[in-house]
Amino acid sequence: MQTTVITIAADQISDWDSFHSVFQAALGFPEFYGRNMNAWIDCMTDIDDPSGGMTTVSVARGELVAMRIDDAPAFEQRCPEQYRALIECTAFVNYRRVEVGEAPVLTLMLGGWFQDRS
């Protein structure tokens, strides 16, 4: 299975506005993107359907997009609400797809958990 890795600049996220700006820039959400988690879910659900125009990043059916979050512990500490929403909504995108007979399309790479922080 082919996986496309997209690095998300989580170090630039400090609130909901910056969360949506970072994801819109990284994944090419359309100008009309609603900048809320329902709109995020809608865009991400169709990441393997480039004809839908919901992202400029796309993968073929059956492939995965891995969202790479470097230093995830710092992101979680700085923005716990956004961090939890990212995990929950990523899972929901996959659940939503499986419920209609499609394959999961998203995964998360959460780096930084095993680094020495002393």
User: So where are the chain's domains?
Assistant: 3-110
Mean pLDDT (whole number) for 12-19: 98
pLDDT of residue 115: 59
pTM of the model as a whole: 0.92
CATH number for the region 3-110 comes to: 3.30.370.10
Give strand pairing partners of 67.
6, 108
- The one-letter code for the residue type at 19 is F
Summarize pLDDT for 67-113 with one digit per residue, the tens. 999 999 999 999 999 999 999 999 999 999 999 999 999 999 999 87
